[in-house]
Structure 1
């Protein structure tokens, strides 16, 4: 697999070393966004479809630029148009239907879909979203997309003999969407598979589904896989055989207790390391984040390290999410300068 990373280095980057900084995906929505949604869903408010589209456009512009203001090398719009990572896609896939919300945890509910017929690609999922963000952003844009295993695992299956068969059919649809995204200009695509961490014994199904997805994807497109939570020792080193260039892993929330999992055998892919905890509203200092980044250098050399939050930031207060991103990019730039000066040992390079 070719090295796709250098295309995301900013032209004015002033250090020899480059730690790619990005976000994972979701981000807190502005309060007025949710008010606008409520107005659109209520009757007799006069807030029509056109008004709702304008509100989503405005939120997308705002958060994309907020990511740029924080100094991120690669940005998203914080998924301002998406309500939930499975539900959003299921509404756009033929073969799904919805029968009401189910309780997930605490007071959180999820409109869990059912697969009642063979799934088919009914309409574009993310191309318009990407094109809008790409027009707004000065920085390169990453596209997060929920992976087929999670789409299958977090749905009721009423049409297939096995969850694996459903996942493979969904993988073909994800492949079709990625081909459309690439044609639209996308060069950084992150496949989200949080369900893998909760059912790690199914890593072979995820690997096979990824083989369906990456077929015919050009060599200059960066493909990453995001897996959050769980016991990584149950999927490592098997995941190294997955046909992606980068693994995005949540480690800050567990105080990096699992970092040693990835040292033996050698981690042969790029590592996108979570260096701020998205479940803690306390903002990590720049020095704390620099220490976390250095833990990543125990696994991979700088030219294969991406720096990101653990996961999506959507559950945090927006000002906290921004401060975490701002400190993250500051820490990355300081580590780059210290690497240039030879002030940091890189165990992974020894």
Structure 2
């Protein structure tokens, strides 16, 4: 049996003698989620201060409490002041981890962590267990982390087995609702639904091969029922259960999904001791599953009507007993909603609901997905052009759109094409860029056969078997960040800034040589972010000052805004790469971010197909790659960690996406000589499903996240079908633990047995920007030591 946390805080927030609230309709305007990091990244700052020991838990709890209070006040100010109008979507780290911990889904390997949390401050113990699972400990690796559907948000993958003891171990969600009552009208608790939780989970190590996490559905539903009862006792009128798994192809058939819906949502809805249920289906359409969902007994159902279609009258069968929540405001982009178009769709939905026997006036207006995917507010931005600002809406502005649309008075209008009012300010359309993209032919995406390239690169580079390298970035120390900030403010001139960056590059090159790495990097001290840096140096982009979005935990990014035709006015990385190469005889990689990732981690224009935009970015990067080669850089890495991320959730749409995404990468990398080695890097997604596309990128070497998922990608690699170099990561850089040399050596031996020593590269899982130098140096020393041991294996005669 799995060792479980002792029951914690189960009694907190429970109102003695409370009864289930009287039935009530959802407010006319209600989003399904809101950013939780704070407009000034208050959550990030509090967490990192706590982890570093700069504040104690009491101060940490005070800061996060103040953030939640400010969030609730802001939402009420924007018009979400009715009971249950505002979602309680706050999380200290990840909503999936919250649900798993509430049910006691904790892997056996964390037994020692759980055993240590039973005494003293229980709230501190709860948070420390959560952070241990999320970040790992000195002894234990953290939970696997991967992308949340087709977004750049990362969730932690629950691990469950047939013997995992499931019981209510935390009622944090109840505490947050009770807290919200103190702050005003009371929020709507939000919880990942039971079906999505198990469809996203993985079997715990040691589970029978035949075990599927869904085998525990009945047990999970029983604990959800207990948690819902606690919320009813606390007085919550509504609870939101998020079931985005219904919008993606799953390992279950449609009939099996329908049956699972009845076993989960249907059984929960059948109970009397619960609040009313809102079931959300963000990230796409659910099609013919809608009648099943309407029949579960849930009082309200949310539909994503930006990526999903309006339901047909037939699909609305059963809507007469259910309130619809119409996700008409796109929650994943920063473009302002064309309210007349949204009003027209709302009117048509009401007509169809009426025809199906429902109440048209009972429809609430909402976002398509949680607003956690966009920044807090445009009010903080001072440097964006007025023309661009007029087309934008961040989270707060989208809530205003919801409230406006729900209030009525918007005259319905029609749209013909992607946008009814095309953007027309400078930079949106550049004729020379469009002419160049139109002239591209298939020859522009081809190189000579890999075998010929591999031999030329062996001769040119002279690398040993199992060559060692890193992914690109090195730790960004305070002095580097301070120099960048001073240069941006104008208090450090260009010469001083260049000198500061060169000093850091020289330090990184010297360190790598001393460590014994084979292929070096310049460390990227000049880059604030792997996408924003290129956006700042390419035409067609705008960058924000405060447009922060949570990627995972305390990690936040500022996605750039791609509003116009993309082109490169001047070389971007050549000077830094050639300076680094001048310091060492070992090869230094040129480091670029690929076109798909630049699109995925930006807010991209919606007035033309994504494939057209990707081709423009690919051509701009092609110019950079060929300039690096001309400057003497023999290895160029073009990172595509988002290749899997943008893969559509429905298989029927995969072919078109993979066609343009692969083509854009090859367009960027196919203009070089045979002896120039092209690398790419991919991380933190389930890449097993796109191995064919990874192969089609035609890179000479692919490094890929592997350590955190414990080498799962190796199971998908057929050496005959994937003949090029590959570097499965051997060090999980998103955890502070330092892997032992023996641990790395064992991973290498396993990888070598699959791909062979002549194709195996050795590298961390990802860039080192977020790590400190002490752990970086220790881990890289262990990496090099492990490689030497594994190389020595091949030198020992058989039977010796």
TM-score by length of structure 1 reads 0.89
Q: Which residue of 2 aligns with 1:91?
A: 536
Q: Residue 117 of structure 1 aligns to a residue in which SS?
A: strand
Q: Which residue of 2 aligns with 1:127?
A: 574
Q: Which residue of 1 aligns with 2:413?
A: none
Q: Which residue of 2 aligns with 1:81?
A: 526
Q: CA deviation at 1:112?
A: 2.0
Q: Which residue of 2 aligns with 1:116?
A: 563
Instruction: State whether structure 2 residue 605 is matched by structure 1 residue 152.
Output: no
Aligned equivalents of 1:167, 1:218: Cα separation in 2 = 23
Q: Which residue of 2 aligns with 1:9?
A: 462
Aligned equivalents of 1:306, 1:107: Cα separation in 2 = 31
Instruction: State whether structure 2 residue 773 is matched by structure 1 residue 326.
Output: no
Q: CA deviation at 1:253?
A: 1.1
Aligned equivalents of 1:84, 1:157: Cα separation in 2 = 17
Q: CA deviation at 1:171?
A: 0.6
Moved more, 55-64 or 113-122: 113-122
Q: Which residue of 2 aligns with 1:58?
A: 503
Q: Which residue of 2 aligns with 1:263?
A: 718
Asked whether the equivalents of residues 596 and 665 of structure 2 are also in contact (C-alpha less than 8 Å), the reply is no
Aligned length, in residue pairs: 336
Asked whether the equivalents of residues 142 and 190 of structure 1 are also in contact (C-alpha less than 8 Å), the reply is yes
Moved more, 31-40 or 211-220: 31-40
Q: Residue 95 of structure 1 aligns to a residue in which SS?
A: strand
Aligned equivalents of 1:174, 1:137: Cα separation in 2 = 26
Moved more, 180-189 or 324-333: 324-333
Asked whether the equivalents of residues 20 and 73 of structure 1 are also in contact (C-alpha less than 8 Å), the reply is yes
Q: Residue 237 of structure 1 aligns to a residue in which SS?
A: helix
Question: Which structure's relative contact order is higher, taking Cα pairs within 8 Å and 6+ residues apart?
Answer: 1
Q: CA deviation at 1:108?
A: 4.0
Q: How does 1:243-262 map to 2 (within 5 A)?
A: 243-262=698-717
Q: Residue 305 of structure 1 aligns to a residue in which SS?
A: coil
Match of 1:296 among 737, 751, 754: 751
CA gap 1:303/1:38 in 2 versus in 1, 3 angstroms: same
Q: Which residue of 2 aligns with 1:180?
A: 627
Instruction: State whether structure 2 residue 685 is matched by structure 1 residue 230.
Output: yes
Aligned equivalents of 1:160, 1:298: Cα separation in 2 = 48
Q: CA deviation at 1:27?
A: 1.1
Instruction: State whether structure 2 residue 726 is matched by structure 1 residue 280.
Output: no
Q: Residue 479 of structure 2 aligns to a residue in which SS?
A: helix
CA gap 1:298/1:56 in 2 versus in 1, 3 angstroms: same
Q: CA deviation at 1:177?
A: 0.8
CA gap 1:329/1:343 in 2 versus in 1, 3 angstroms: farther
Q: 5+ unaligned residues in a row in structure 2: which ranges?
A: 1-449, 648-653
Aligned equivalents of 2:499, 2:660: Cα separation in 1 = 40
Q: Which residue of 2 aligns with 1:21?
A: 468
Asked whether the equivalents of residues 730 and 744 of structure 2 are also in contact (C-alpha less than 8 Å), the reply is yes
CA gap 1:297/1:156 in 2 versus in 1, 3 angstroms: same
Instruction: State whether structure 2 residue 549 is matched by structure 1 residue 103.
Output: yes
Q: Residue 302 of structure 1 aligns to a residue in which SS?
A: coil
Q: How does 1:304-323 map to 2 (within 5 A)?
A: 304-323=759-778
**CA-based RMSD:** 2.1
Aligned equivalents of 2:482, 2:504: Cα separation in 1 = 12
Aligned equivalents of 1:174, 1:142: Cα separation in 2 = 15
Q: CA deviation at 1:238?
A: 3.3
CA gap 1:160/1:143 in 2 versus in 1, 3 angstroms: farther
Match of 1:33 among 476, 480, 483: 480
Q: Which residue of 2 aligns with 1:347?
A: none
CA gap 1:176/1:159 in 2 versus in 1, 3 angstroms: farther
Moved more, 215-224 or 107-116: 107-116
Q: Which residue of 1 aligns with 2:513?
A: 68
Aligned equivalents of 2:537, 2:698: Cα separation in 1 = 26
Q: Residue 84 of structure 1 aligns to a residue in which SS?
A: coil
Aligned equivalents of 1:30, 1:6: Cα separation in 2 = 37
Q: Which residue of 1 aligns with 2:609?
A: 162
The superposition leaves residues 166-193 of structure 1 with CA deviations (integer Å, 9 ceiling, x where unpaired) of 1111111111111100000111111111
CA gap 1:234/1:272 in 2 versus in 1, 3 angstroms: same
Instruction: State whether structure 2 residue 503 is matched by structure 1 residue 48.
Output: no
Asked whether the equivalents of residues 501 and 525 of structure 2 are also in contact (C-alpha less than 8 Å), the reply is yes
Aligned equivalents of 2:549, 2:467: Cα separation in 1 = 37
Aligned equivalents of 1:265, 1:5: Cα separation in 2 = 20
Aligned equivalents of 1:175, 1:236: Cα separation in 2 = 24
Q: CA deviation at 1:131?
A: 0.9
